[in-house]
Amino acid sequence: MLVDTVELELKAGNGGDGVVSWRREKGEEKGGPDGGDGGKGGDIAFISSNNTDTLADFRYRKQFKAEDGQKGARKKRKGHDGAVLELIVPTGTVVTDTIFNHQLADFTKTDMRIVLALGGIGGKGNVHFVSATHQNPFEFTSGIPGQKLQVRLELRLVADVAIVGEPNAGKSSLLKALCGVSGRIGAYKFSTVEPVLGVATINGQKVTLVDLPGLIKDAHLGKGLGTEFLRHSSRVRLIVHVIDASLESPKLSEKVILDEIKSYDVKLLDLPRIVILNKMDLLNEEQVTALNKDFPDSILISAEQNTGISELKEAIVEALDKG
């Protein structure tokens, strides 16, 4: 199951307290202050990785706390710093502060490392408070609490091309045809309810595609699967719009998808779009002629029979190169 959004509570480690201590040496009954400082609390850092493609690891564990710094010790010894807590997230993850609705991080590349919650600074021991007029200080400071955050993690798949359309338009068949037997499909199982990633090699160029679940009319109102998965199209450079050419009104099908995309994010309509009329093997010559008239810039294909796929591949590479 694709888990692409979770909410977490992060708590960085507290700084350790400074201490009050006095130097004790042989022949010296009462020495000066030598209380050490507390250690720094552990940070919480996120690291992006291509070795994971879901937020499922955070599905059941919602709270993460880094280690506290240790308190200081005699002989001016500083307490140990708390260990940094590192959390691995998929490349493409966006982290947002849910209280202030402010984006904290966007992991657009792999191996990015961003500290999101800072550990507290350690307190000062009494050695810092000695002066010419204050030889025996009992003052010390406590460690500062670590930063606490409530965050939302959203996975936005990193792909070059998003394949959109109504259910049963043939998007999954098209993805298989584009990727071919040498292509890589994963890491999601084929399903109508989850995005599916594929990598195709076209003219020596690797192209990543994401097949998004089918949209229906009023999806933005929560009907069907809704439009939330359209977040995965926010990073793409090209939209491939698949229309079932055997429908009674392909134009209406096109309008439904464009209206739903507009309702979700009108900026997506500014992306280059290739219109694909699929299932041409079910049409007669007269129907093909009519479709060419209604969709003059479209590409007619049959994903099942692998017809028109080469032309589509060329169009995809050309559009990406222009972008």
Q: Is 137 annotated as a binding residue?
A: no
DSSP SS3 for 109: coil
Closest C-alpha to 156, from 317, 312, 318, 5: 5
Distances (CA, A) of 323 to 162, 242, 271, 272, 276: 15, 21, 9, 8, 19
Q: Is 248 annotated as a binding residue?
A: no
Q: Is 279 annotated as a binding residue?
A: yes
Q: Is 49 annotated as a binding residue?
A: no
HSE toward the beta carbon, residue 42, CA cutoff 13 A: 17
Q: Is 172 annotated as a binding residue?
A: yes
Q: Is 93 annotated as a binding residue?
A: no
- Beta carbons of 94 and 153 less than 8 angstroms apart: yes
Distance, in Å, from the CA atom of 92 to the CA atom of 158, rounded to the nearest integer, reads 6
Distance, in Å, from the CA atom of 39 to the CA atom of 60, rounded to the nearest integer, reads 31
What number of residues does the chain have? 323
Q: Please list the alpha-helical segments (H only) found in the chain.
A: 171-179, 250-264, 285-294, 309-322
DSSP SS3 for 22: strand
Contacts of 85 (CB under 8 A, 6+ apart): 42, 43, 44, 45, 64, 65, 66, 67
Distance, in Å, from the CA atom of 97 to the CA atom of 184, rounded to the nearest integer, reads 35
Q: Is 302 annotated as a binding residue?
A: yes
Q: Is 278 annotated as a binding residue?
A: yes
Q: Is 162 annotated as a binding residue?
A: no
Q: Is 192 annotated as a binding residue?
A: yes
DSSP SS3 for 158: coil
Closest C-alpha to 50, from 197, 245, 235: 197
Q: Is 290 annotated as a binding residue?
A: no
Which residue ranges make up the annotated binding site for GTP? 211-214, 278-281, 302-304
Which residue ranges make up the annotated binding site? 172, 192, 211-214, 278-281, 302-304
Which residue ranges make up the annotated binding site for Mg(2+)? 172, 192
